[in-house]
Amino acid sequence: MLKSLGSKSSSDITNEFKLRYTDQYLSTVEEQGVHLQIDYPDVDRDLNRWLLGRFEPAGWKLAGALTPIAYIAWSLWLVATGFALLI
């Protein structure tokens, strides 16, 4: 498996791709040669504990209040910077 492109020479990378190359097209009907298994988190048990938590409602209220203020401040800064660069 390719670890890092920076740690291998270009000939090593080329040889590795040649070894992995196949002329098989991916099928939508038959069994695939590569399988991907992902363990999806249980939302109630895994995500609620550290992503949402007990401060979720307050966090959304804070984000809803700060977003328009940040947008207006950013827009004013861009306009002021544009005028300063023109002068």
Q: What is the mean pLDDT of residues 13-27?
A: 73
- Calpha distance 14→11 (Å, rounded): 5
pLDDT band at 15 (very low <50, low <70, confident <90, very high): confident
List the one residue out of 15, 16, 34, 14 whose CA is nearest residue 24.
Answer: 34
CA 70 to chain centre: 23
The maximal CA–CA distance of the chain, rounded, in angstroms, is 66
Tokens matching residue 87 = 């002068």
Which tens digits make up the pLDDT trace of 22-72?
666 666 777 776 777 888 777 666 665 555 556 677 777 888 889 999 999
**Whole-number pLDDT of residue 35:** 75
